[in-house]
Amino acid sequence: MAGDPHGGLLDRTLANLFRAWSDLSGTTRYHVSGRLRADLPDEDRARVRSEMEACVAAVGDAATNRARAAELGRRYLELDRTGRIRFLLELATGFDRDRDAVDRALAELGACGGDALARREAEQSLHSALEPRWRVLLRQFTTLPEGMKFLVDLRAEMLEAQGEHPEIRFLADDLRTLLSHWFDLGLLDLRRIDWASPARLLEKLIAYEAVHEIRSWEDLKNRLDSDRRCFAFLHPTMPDEPLIFVEVALVNGMAASVDELLDETAPAVDPRTADTAVFYSISNAQRGLDGISFGNFLIRHVVGVLEQELPNLRSFATLSPIPGLSRWVRRQVSEAGTELLTASERRALPIGDVGLPDLLARLEQGDGAMETALREPLTRLAARYLTSARRRGNRAHDPVAHFHLSNGARVERLNWMGDRSVRGRTQSWGLMVNYLYRTGDIAVNSAGYATDGRIAASQAIRSLARD
């Protein structure tokens, strides 16, 4: 929670916007004269509660109600971290579903007997009774200036707080449900981002890039060059805020090294002659939208757009990190020791002297000899990891693998030393993997993975994994 004195993601400048807005709406009488104290002591919390009550009652015309909600939002923004948590707790505990209404609806349902229509009506009433009352308030924010962004960031603050305060979890989950409607895929714009895009949007890419850090505006410009493509989903209410974005390189042959892709001095390829589009970075940008999935659709859309623009493209693949590899291998090593290695690998390595963990540590520190010596065994283990390591529910153990396999891609190729950055070395000794998206196989692959946990992989990967 850096960057704000009160430790919130939500900047307090928004408070002025909300105040200005409710002033303009001519509803000044909702301005409570006194300020709340920043940590919201009980007395002030009681005042907040009665304002929440008024919002949820929602008597009168819609515009007035929304002005009242704006005022309450402004108050939230003026709180410090303690105050904000107390505010959320008040909302989560005081404005959940109406217990009496639920009980009445249950009783009604119980009394229906065999009358199907009556039962259906009673279920309907029960369904309504089970809706938390806070929804009335949350919905009133959508029309405020920056109101949708407010709700997204509010959920991020709920997620942050729910660890310590589990009561908030139901609130956070319910807000996710509302947001999942408002951020339905059908409401998003796929936008190409390039060097002609607004600086205001571009600086968000720099801030949000989660896979391979963007180091400067020059680095960014290189990633938006004529042989690159960048696409994002945007929401109409947040025109300068990407929800998710993907960076693509147009190359000849599947790229093996992200370091080469990010080399600003490398010459640009003529995109009309490229045969492969490599998706080398996908970043979710809004923490408040956690649990709402955009990635599968983004990739499919981008493939469609690129196929139309550049008919010479023959394959669509990723160049992806393997974030879970290192930890998994170490666990295997601690369990199985050198049994993990083949006889010839054991012979080739100076294991007797120091043990496998030490060799891995040397590799991480950049020992060139280890780079050569461990290439084969680690690549082999990585193939095994990606094709057979599992989590509960038969999911692939590696989260990135799970994402692409769900989308219908297959594990295509491993690339030794594809990412020499500190992060790359730490999580996978620099190994990267290409996942391949073949239009004709996607439906079968994704269904097979979803139903039976079948992991699609190239012949080469499968034979590596078997060794």
Residues that bind its own copies (CB under 8 A): 24-27, 29, 59-64, 96-97, 102, 106, 109, 117, 120, 123-124, 126-127, 130-131, 139, 141-144, 147-148, 166, 170, 173, 178, 181-182, 184-187, 189, 195-200, 202, 217, 221, 236-237, 240, 293, 296-297, 300, 304, 406-408, 439-440, 442-443, 446-447, 450-451
Distance of CA 142 to the CA centre of its chain: 22
Whole-number minimum distance, CB 185 to its own copies, in Å? Answer: 5
Whole-number minimum distance, CB 229 to its own copies, in Å? Answer: 16
Q: Where are the alpha helices (DSSP H) in 58-115?
A: 62-77, 81-94, 99-110
* Tokens 């010479």 -> residue: 312
Reply yes or no on whether 404 is catalytic: yes
Q: Which has the closest alpha carbon to 19: 7, 6, 28, 10?
A: 28
Nearer to its own copies, 189 or 260 (CB): 189
Of the residues 320, 326, 428, 446, only one is catalytic, namely: 320
Nearer to its own copies, 220 or 256 (CB): 220
- b/e map 96-135, b = 16+ CB within 10 Å: bbeeebeeebeebeeeeeeeeeeeeebeeebeebebbbbb
Task: Determine the angle formed by the axes of helices 42-57 and 62-77, rounding to 10 degrees.
Answer: 160
Reply yes or no on whether 226 is catalytic: no
Cβ-based neighbours of 309, under 8 Å, separated by 6 or more: none
Of the residues 257, 402, 404, 446, only one is catalytic, namely: 404
Whole-number minimum distance, CB 310 to its own copies, in Å? Answer: 15
Nearer to its own copies, 98 or 259 (CB): 98
Q: Would you say 378 and 429 are in contact if contact means Cβ atoms under 8 Å apart?
A: yes
Nearer to its own copies, 201 or 348 (CB): 201
Cα-based torsion angle of the residue sequence 34, 39, 42, 43 in order, rounded to the nearest 10 degrees: -10
Cα-based torsion angle of the residue sequence 257, 261, 264, 266 in order, rounded to the nearest 10 degrees: 90
Whole-number minimum distance, CB 249 to its own copies, in Å? Answer: 19
Task: Determine the angle formed by the axes of helices 368-388 and 325-336, rounding to 10 degrees.
Answer: 90
Length of the chain: 467
Beta bridge partners of 433: 320, 414
Nearer to its own copies, 287 or 454 (CB): 454
DSSP 119-163: HHHHHHHHHHHTS-THHHHHHHTTTSTTHHHHHHHHHHHHHHHHT
Nearer to its own copies, 283 or 296 (CB): 296
Whole-number minimum distance, CB 411 to its own copies, in Å? Answer: 16
Catalytic residues: 320, 404
